[in-house]
Amino acid sequence: MIFWWANLAGSTVGFTLGSALLKRFADTGAAASLVLSFLVLGVSNMLFVSVIRTGLGAGIIASSMSQIIFMAALGVLVFGERLTALQVIGVALAATSIALITGFGSSASEG
């Protein structure tokens, strides 16, 4: 299960970094950013495949919700954005959905 969580975290960080590199390429036209983004996104997709092996629904939900959480944190920590109360509730619900869909902390999720 730890391997699954590590792959989920790795794919989430990779998708975010790959998207940031593509944005950089769009802004600057630097070919190195484009090539690096393809490499990062390729590795991220390979990690994502191992995430969805445990179940398509749970894997996709956990991945998309973790990306929401990560992007919200990135916006706050890096770009100084402020979340509204409704947005904070949304991020909390995203975290709750991951816990519920994956059975986090329950012995039923083992195996």
SS3 assignment for 84-109: CHHHHHHHHHHHHHHHHHHCCCCHHH
Yes or no: say if 72 and 65 are a contact pair by the CB < 8 Å rule: no
pLDDT confidence of residue 53: 83
AA identity, residue 26 = A
pLDDT confidence of residue 54: 75
Domain range enclosing 101: 2-109
Number of domains in the chain: 1
Yes or no: say if 8 and 64 are a contact pair by the CB < 8 Å rule: no
Yes or no: say if 2 and 56 are a contact pair by the CB < 8 Å rule: no
Three-state DSSP class for residue 111: coil
**pLDDT tens readout for residues 39-56:** 999 999 999 998 888 777
Digitized pLDDT (tens) for each residue of the chain, 111 residues in all? 788 889 988 998 999 889 888 888 988 999 999 999 999 999 999 999 988 887 777 888 888 899 899 889 888 987 788 999 999 999 999 999 999 988 876 654 444
> Which token pair is 96?
């709750």
Closest CA to 21 of 39, 6, 8, 9: 39
pLDDT confidence of residue 109: 44
